Amino acid sequence: MKATQERAGTAELLDVEALAEMLSVSTRTCRRLADSGQMPRPLKVASLVRWRRTDIEQWLADGCPNCRRASR
C-alpha cells in the first residue's frame, strides 16, 4: 500500500511498508522500534496504523533519539 494524504493535503501519512522502505529496514523492525518507544508513535486511524512523514523526517534530523525517554 502506498503512502496516503490527510484530507487537508498537508501531511503525508506513511504505512509500515513505506516507512520501512524510507528507513531501509524491515516492517518488523519498524514495529519493534515503535513498540519500544524508540521512534515517533504512529497514528491510529480506525484499524490502520500510519506515521506522519514530517514526524519521521524530524526524528531522523534529530539523530533518532529515543522518543520514550525524551517525553519523560
- Domain chopping of the chain, boundaries: 4-70
Specify whether the CB–CB gap between 45 and 10 falls below 8 A.
no
Quickly state the pLDDT bin for 53 (edges 50, 70, 90): very high
Q: What is the per-residue pLDDT for 4?
A: 47
**The Cα angle at residue 14 between residues 41 and 17, in degrees rounded to 5:** 100
Q: What's the CATH fold of domain 4-70?
A: Arc Repressor Mutant, subunit A (1.10.10)
Answer yes or no: pTM beyond 0.85.
no
Residue 10: is its pLDDT beyond 70?
A: no
Average pLDDT over residues 8-19: 83
Q: For residues 1 and 38, what is the distance between their CA atoms, to the nearest angstrom?
A: 24
Quickly state the pLDDT bin for 6 (edges 50, 70, 90): very low
Average pLDDT over residues 21-38: 96
